Amino acid sequence: MAMLAANIRASTRTTAAVIDPTLEPFGLALLRVLARRGESHASVVAEILAVDKSMISRQAKLLCSLGLVETSVDPNDGRARFLALTSLAEERLAEVRRNQTALVHRRLSRWTPAELDVFAALLERLNEPD
């Protein structure tokens, strides 16, 4: 499990760097939340990522400077902001998804049907509730 976790962390760092060489993994996490949810209130993003709103604010400024996120003022609360992906961020995230999907397909294409069945059964078992 430790090796799997280390590989996931390395993959996240690599993916962030593909989007922008200065992007950190937390910035990628924020982009992925916006990709799933669409335009979102900064406080909602903070809640989803289980971080303080100040972290979202700092990261949003960086992502805006990279052209990956746009902010707009909440008309009901001038202090609050909505965050949304830019078309550049959408394009780069789509490219990353295509590359990752192709990689998984390439790797799994070398497995036998029996190996795929075992893998699927083990994943199902791993995801069973306690």
**Six-digit token string for 28:** 């990628």
CA–CA separation, 71 and 84 (whole Å): 6
Q: Which residue has the tokens 């001038």?
A: 78
pLDDT digit string (tens) for 64-115?
A: 999 999 999 988 888 889 999 999 999 999 999 999 999 999 999 999 999 9
Average pLDDT, rounded, for the chain: 94
The domains of the chain, with CATH numbers, are: 2-126 (1.10.10.10)
CA–CA separation, 56 and 48 (whole Å): 11
Largest Cα separation within the chain, whole Å, is 58
Distance, C-alpha 56 to centroid of its chain: 14
Supply the pLDDT for residue 114.
Answer: 97
Cβ atoms of 27 and 63 within 8 Å: the answer is: yes
CA–CA separation, 11 and 15 (whole Å): 6
With a cut of 90, say whether residue 44 has pLDDT above it: yes
